[in-house]
Structure formats: structure tokens, C-alpha cells
Amino acid sequence: MRFPSPIRFLADRRGNVAMMYALMLPVLMFGAGFAIDYTHAMQVQTKLDAAADAAVLAGLTPSMMQQTSDVEKTAVTNLFNAQAAAISSLAQPLSLPVVNVVCNPSTCPATGGTRTITLSYSEANQNIFSGVLGAPTLPVTGTVTATASSAPNINFYLLLDNSPSMALPATSDGITSMQKLTALQTAMQQTATSASAGCAFACHQYQGIAQNPDTAGNPCLSGATYNTPNQSHVGWDNKTYANVYCGSGQGTQIDDYALAKHNSIPLRLDYISTAIDAMMTAATNAQQTATGTPPDYEFAAYTMDTLWQVGMVKTSPATSSSTPTNLLMAMTTNSGYVSAWQTAKPNFGVMQYYKNNHVCGSASCTTDGGGGDWATDLDGALSTMNSTSIMPNPGNGTNATGDKPQGILFIITDGVADVNQTTCSTSPFTQSSGNRCYEPINNSLCTAIKNRNIKIAILYTDYLPVKVDTWYNTYIAPTLNVNPPTNSQIATQLQACATPGLFYDAGVDSSNLSNDLVALFNSAIATANLTQ
């Protein structure tokens, strides 16, 4: 009998695949089994994550936010354990989750406030196949965190810019209309070195001055009747201008503020008024839909100028505790701010001058108070507002005994300070020859307010370009680089003044000011969030 040689036997490769498969089969089976065990463990972990999510969120419901931290911990733990017990593959006994509750105030009273709940679990899922290899379970662990806040009680302080620049029409079309309506004023006042195409600002001036070049060409008002001026006048250039002033019996020539009203030209000041209406409505809605106990909201409103004086003027005696005459609306009750604003709104108006470059001598503005055309003292307004008699030191806004409401200062302004001082607070910025400083807001004053834990929210009503106006071109545009919507020093400074996230640029068209202010208000009160 003949046998194959060893060399030929070793060289024969037939059947090697089947042999190698037989040798590897146990390894492949255990590998597939481990993959199944691992996949199952990951599915269980997903279920436990969902259980943890549900547990911590349940601990932040309105009713639970009114409980102590110990009550919250127990409730969250019990809910998680109940859902984990329903997963049959988990090794018994189950481990208790670690639940932590962090509150503000740190004592976690039963008064809401901000709370953060963290739940960590560490369980073991039983394997189906891997136990043969000495691995009966696979660990499944996870951590979930959720944060929520009951809406805090807040005192809102409104600082409203009512300087003459806020009597600028709210839109570019409005500016053009005002310039066309006031062309005769330009003709009566222009000089060889200064020429503007009409007055864009709806300036508010005493209307009892006969032949006032600032009202030349405006209608005459007698009672409720408007008349076209019929008196001619010889101007600076020896030209005769027909029908520029009121004649005998025609009544009083209206100022540009009344002219804008007569022609239904909306001013930025008008849009601010209606925007505050919308803000009050938003506040009511926020209270009605708030998580947990509805917050208390109270409002006070101040103007930067009085109706006839520059700046925030203290009542006599002029002490830090005196109430400014600029108080437009005293601090309201929680339920009375809507009606209080409706009462205060008719008194919200632009500051009045006696005539161009001359302030009023009295509240009636029938006398000349002397020269001076500056009217936006932002420094003075911020310094005055930063008084504990106006804005007391705030609290956390909870209902805990002894706690006080949070405080938010809302500033609505075009952001251009126009002050009678020899040195600008925010340098380098140009001054006119009359010790008149044009500058953006002084942020050191903003910092002083924010350091008292009072937030600052700013709605910037862009200073619209008035490129045909000599004063604007000489002082405002080059001094502050005001070319909205980009590269504006005014906007840069205002944004730095505001609390992060609470600056809103309304843009060059103020017709949407209501939506802008509501958006800013909602940002200011947004205190709740959930994170994982």
C-alpha cells in the first residue's frame, strides 16, 4: 500500500477553511454574545437617562419649586427608583441615585427662586452571554442636570429720553416731510456760512413770540382754527418773504412740535409712548404664564429732562434723598402699573425751550431763562437714578421673608449726551466753542449701577442721519461716528453700558419700537432654563 509523502500532505490545503472556522467558532459566538449584551446595556442606559430626565424635571414643577430641598430630593429619588424598578434586567438590589439640589438663596426655602437638581445613577445590567466568561453584568451610569427658576419679583425703573433730539421724526420719510414743511425757517435764518434744507427736528418752543424765525411759515392758530400766515417779512438777505408770520387777529404761530402733530408726523417720542403700552401688556402676560407663583412686577418712570428744564432736577432742598421733578410715574403696585401708565402717559412730552438756544425761565415757559441749547445730560440722569431713594438696593426677588425685588433700569435713548461742561467725560470727543460737549454715555456711571446688582436694559433709538443739517454734520456725525447701523460709537458705548444680553438696537426706523421694547423686556425677565 502506498502512502502520500509527508511533503505532499503538508502541501494539501483542501478543507482548511472549515477547520479554522471550527476553531474560531467559540470566539465568534462569545463576541456576538458580548455585542448583544453591550447593545442591551446601552438600551437600558437610555431608559435610565429618560427616567432621570423625568425625575429631575418633576422636581422643578411649579408645586415642587415651593418645597424645601429635602422634599425635592425625596420626590426625585422615589420617581427615579420607581421607573428603574420596572427594568427587569437590572441587577438587584438597585443602587440609590445621588440627588443634589442647589438653590438660590442657598438655604432653599419654600419660596421658589433658582434651583438646580443633579441626579447621578450607577446600576448594573445583567448579561445574557458574557456571564460564561466571568462578566455577569455591565455597568450603566449617567448624570442628568436641570435648572429652573420661578419668575422673580422685579421693580422696573424706566428712564425715558425726552430731550429735543427725541422730537426727531421716527422715520426717514418723516424727516423729509418736516424739512419740506419748514423750508421758510431756513430762508429766514440762514447765513453765508450756514445753510440747511429745512428743520428736521420738531422743536418745542414757546409760541407767544411774534416773528420768531424758528416758526416762520408755520400755520397760525386761533382757538381751534388754523390759518395761513399773511404777514410778509424782509429777511437777512434783504429779500421779502411772503406769508411767513401771523398777522393781526390770526392767532399764535405754532412751533415745529405742533406742526408735526398737525401733519400727523410720528415722532420718536410718540413711538416710545406706545411701546411702553406694549411693554405693560407683555408684563401682564408674563405674570399670567409664569412658572410657579406669579411674580410681582412694579414700575416707576422718569424723564431725563423736565417739561421745561434741562436735566433731572431735584426738588427743594436739593439733597440726594429729594425726589426729582422728572418723576413721571411713581412706583406702582403689582396690579396697578397698566392704569398708572395710562394716567402718566399724557404728561410724557418733549422738553420745551423759550426759543432757539434759550431755555424757559419758568414752568409756564413765558419768560426767557437765558442762553443754552444743551439738553441731554446723560451723566446727570444716571447719577440721579443711582440713588437708594429712587432705586433701593435690590434682592433676589423671592418671596422669602426679608427678601426684596430684583431691580432693572430700562433706558430708552438715542444715546447722544449734549452737556454744558468744559471737559467731556468720555474722551476723546469734540466740543463746540460754547463749552458744549457731545459724547456717548459714560460707562463708569453704568458700572456703578450694575455693581449694586441692578441690571441695565437699553433700547437704542438710532440717531437718524440728518445730512442736510449743518449742526448734525458739524458736531454729531464726525464726533460720534454715527452712521447706523454700523460703526456707531453711540451704539458701542450703549451696549457696554447694558447688562450682557440686554441691549437692543431699534435701527433707523422706529416704527417697530413696540416690538423691540417687548423683545427687550422678555429678555430681561427670562430667568428659566433646562439644561443637560
Residues 197 and 309 in one domain: no
Q: How far is CA 291 from the centre of its chain?
A: 21
Bridging pattern class, strands 252-253 and 220-222: antiparallel
Q: Can you give the length of the chain in residues?
A: 532
CATH number of the domain where residue 299 is located: 3.40.50.410
Total domains present in the chain? 3
How far is the C-alpha of 279 from the C-alpha of 102, rounded, in Å?
A: 33
Q: Note whether residue 289 is domain-resident.
A: yes
Encode pLDDT of 220-230 as tens digits: 999 999 999 99
Residues 201 and 342 in one domain: no
CA angle in degrees (0–180, nearest 5) for 207-211-213:
85
Kindly state the cell numbers that stand for 247.
Answer: 398777522
- Pick from 199, 225, 253: which residue ends a domain? 253
Residues 209 and 120 in one domain: no
Residues 203 and 293 in one domain: no
> How confident is residue 317, by pLDDT bands cut at 50, 70 and 90?
very low
Predicted structure pTM score? 0.73
Residue 166: phi and psi, rounded to 5, are: -80, -5
Burial class for 381, CB neighbours closer than 10 Å (0-12, 13-18, 19+): buried
Residues 125 and 232 in one domain: no
Residue 346, amino acid: P
Kindly state the cell numbers that stand for 459.
Answer: 433700547
The predicted pLDDT at position 512 comes to: 80
Across residues 79-96, what is the average pLDDT?
Answer: 88
How far is the C-alpha of 280 from the C-alpha of 346, rounded, in Å?
A: 16
The greatest distance separating any two alpha carbons of the chain, rounded to the nearest whole angstrom, comes to 151
Q: What are the CA-CA distances from residue 281 to residues 128, 268, 278, 286, 369 (Å)?
A: 61, 20, 5, 9, 40
Residues 144 and 160 in one domain: no
Matching residue, cell 419654600: 110
CB 265 within 8 A of CB 257: no
Q: Note whether residue 4 is domain-resident.
A: no
Q: Note whether residue 6 is domain-resident.
A: no
Domain of 206, in residue numbers: 176-253
Encode pLDDT of 353-411 as tens digits: 998 888 888 888 999 988 777 778 888 899 999 999 999 999 988 877 788 999 999 99
> How confident is residue 342, by pLDDT bands cut at 50, 70 and 90?
very high
Residues 219 and 107 in one domain: no
Q: Note whether residue 261 is domain-resident.
A: no
Mean pLDDT of all residues belonging to the chain: 81
Say whether pLDDT at 268 is over 70. yes
Q: Note whether residue 7 is domain-resident.
A: no
Q: Note whether residue 467 is domain-resident.
A: yes
The predicted pLDDT at position 226 comes to: 93
The predicted pLDDT at position 193 comes to: 44
Q: Residue 205's closest CA among 260, 266, 257?
A: 257
Q: What are the CA-CA distances from residue 168 to residues 224, 273, 415 (Å)?
A: 25, 14, 14
Residues 489 and 346 in one domain: yes
Residues 415 and 371 in one domain: yes
Of 56-65, 190-199, 251-260, 332-341, the range with the lowest mean pLDDT is 190-199
Neighbouring C-beta atoms of residue 257, cutoff 10 Å = 21
Encode pLDDT of 468-478 as tens digits: 677 777 777 76
Residue scoring higher pLDDT (315 or 174): 174
The predicted pLDDT at position 32 comes to: 55
> How confident is residue 3, by pLDDT bands cut at 50, 70 and 90?
low
CB 278 within 8 A of CB 513: no
Residues 244 and 270 in one domain: no
Q: Note whether residue 361 is domain-resident.
A: yes
Q: Note whether residue 13 is domain-resident.
A: no
Across residues 42-70, what is the average pLDDT?
Answer: 83
Encode pLDDT of 479-519 as tens digits: 565 554 455 678 888 999 999 989 998 876 666 889 999 99
Residues 305 and 405 in one domain: yes
How far is the C-alpha of 309 from the C-alpha of 164, rounded, in Å?
A: 12
Across residues 16-27, what is the average pLDDT?
Answer: 55
Bridging pattern class, strands 114-126 and 240-245: unpaired
The predicted pLDDT at position 138 comes to: 85
Is the dihedral angle over the CA atoms 212, 174, 506, 274 positive or is it negative?
A: positive
CB 326 within 8 A of CB 302: yes
Residues 167 and 132 in one domain: no
